[in-house]
Chains A and B, each alone.
Chain A
Amino acid sequence: TQLLEQSPQFLSIQEGENLTVYCNSSSVFSSLQWYRQEPGEGPVLLVTVVTGGEVKKLKRLTFQFGDARKDSSLHITAAQPGDTGLYLCAGLYNFNKFYFGSGTKLNVKP
């Protein structure tokens, strides 16, 4: 059973376009993290959100945690080829264990 569902699974866009990736669950999470993973490497943490409704910005990336702490979104403005990678959300459940979503594979074409 996948605790966290990510959509879309795949996204191929042109440089300069905007995009949003979603991470949804029926469960409540203590906190939620977003990671980016490049081929042949481990995931690298981008951000942690803790409070329901919290919004964090990291340059062109905007992360939002849902009010009920069950879902999150990642918005990228003016995507660049360097943003290409696998984006993973991970929810901390019961302050105990991180569950990862299945990932969104993003390809930004120059």
Chain B
Amino acid sequence: GAGVSQSPRYKVAKRGQDVALRCDPISGHVSLFWYQQALGQGPEFLTYFQNEAQLDKSGLPSDRFFAERPEGSVSTLKIQRTQQEDSAVYLCASSLRPRGGGEKLFFGSGTQLSVL
């Protein structure tokens, strides 16, 4: 596609429910990033993929968060047993080159997760 696509745009979950957020990066982009953005704040890094390899997951806040990119294109961020503090916008970004190349990040519109 022309840009980074994320789905769903909005997700309301009951506390304790599992959720899965999808990201379709720009075709051919090597790098894929997940960020978490709280209301009125800047994005916080969660995890990074280079093709199918998850090279950095240092920003994942707990072991309830899991991300995968099995074929090096589409990625899924899964949150198990959601808590209210997980409520945020989850942004996906992709870039053409591997991380560290001064890359331009292309962001999706995000998934706004609300945990009740």
B104 cross-chain contacts in A, Cβ below 8 A: 45, 48
Given A48-B102, A96-B99, A97-B56, residue A88 in contact with residue B108 (CB < 8 A): no
Query: Which listed residue, A42, A92, A96, touches B91 by the CB 8 Å rule?
Result: A42
Nearest Cβ distance between residue B63 and chain A, in whole angstroms? 21
Interface residues on A, range: 20 to 34
Given A42-B4, A42-B110, residue A98 in contact with residue B105 (CB < 8 A): yes
Bound Cα distance A18, B107 (Å): 28
Provide the A82-98 mask, 1 if CB < 8 A to any CB of B, else 0: 00000010101001111
Query: Which listed residue, A43, A95, A103, touches B41 by the CB 8 Å rule?
Result: A103
In the complex, whether A110 has a CB less than 8 A from a CB of chain B is: no
Q: Is the CB of A100 within 8 A of B100?
A: no
Q: Is the CB of B100 within 8 A of A43?
A: no
Bound Cα distance A6, B108 (Å): 23
